[in-house]
Amino acid sequence: MRHADHVRLLRDGVPGRRGTWADLGAGQGAFTLALADLLPDGSTIQAVDRDRGALDVLRARYAAFARGRAVPDLRTTVADFTRDLAIGPLDGVLMANSLHFVKDKAPVLARVRAMLGPDGRLIVVEYDTDSGNAWVPHPLSFDTWRGVALAAGFGEPRLLATHPSRFLRRIYAALSAPHGVSGTDRATVSAIPSLGERLEARRAGARL
């Protein structure tokens, strides 16, 4: 997958307003860079991973990415996200290809909920399958994620985007919020016709 694919998967779940996000299981930062592309300057990304070496790579990649442009502040923490991270309240949490390492997801999701502020949101990126293997031990399809998220006290998840995967069928990104997705997000904004579109439609005799 290329950077543009990572950005596309997250795009509709990241509001265009300044915020503080955590990327749990950030690894070498493929999705951290995508998040950085979508958040405005003045935002902060807290990248958490238990693998110090991966975070070293992430910092180097982020420095190259940041050259000549304004990007969110990056902080990195070596930690186990199944334990108390003492961070928050956050505007968003991203878990990309990391929740499938956890068999019992409920306690982790309870911690994530506790990290989120009142308008906070969780984006999960996962393989759309319920059959694991040695590399992806406990994946969950979008249908399964729906049940797990609701049981963990999140609102109805929204499927943001998918990407084909030769490895395990396809990858999906889903947006969840503790009380359902609130506020004006990018998808809502893009669903509202622009002034130009309305004028164009009026000229064509249609009503938007």
Ligand X SMILES: C[S@@+](CC[C@H](N)C(=O)[O-])C[C@H]1O[C@@H](n2cnc3c(N)ncnc32)[C@H](O)[C@@H]1O
Name the residue nearer to ligand X (CB basis): 44 or 82.
82
Cα separation, 24 vs 162, whole angstroms = 20
Cis before residue 15, ω within 30 degrees of 0?
Answer: no
Closest by CA to 153, choosing from 172, 180, 174, 126, is: 180
Could you count the other beta carbons within 10 Å of the beta carbon of residue 60?
A: 12
Name the residue nearer to ligand X (CB basis): 25 or 88.
25
Regarding 197 and contact with ligand X (CB under 6 A), the answer is: no
Spell out, one character per residue from 18 to 47, where the chain touches ligand X: x when CB under 6 A holds, - when not: -------xxx--xx----------------
Residue 38 Cβ, how far from ligand X at the closest point, in Å? 15
The residues near 17 (Cβ < 8 Å, ≥ 6 apart) are: 40
Residue 94 Cβ, how far from ligand X at the closest point, in Å? 8
Residues 97-136 that bind ligand X (CB under 6 A): 97-98, 101
Name the residue nearer to ligand X (CB basis): 30 or 38.
30
Name the residue nearer to ligand X (CB basis): 27 or 139.
27
Binding site for ligand X (CB under 6 A): 25-27, 30-31, 49-51, 54, 80-82, 96-98, 101
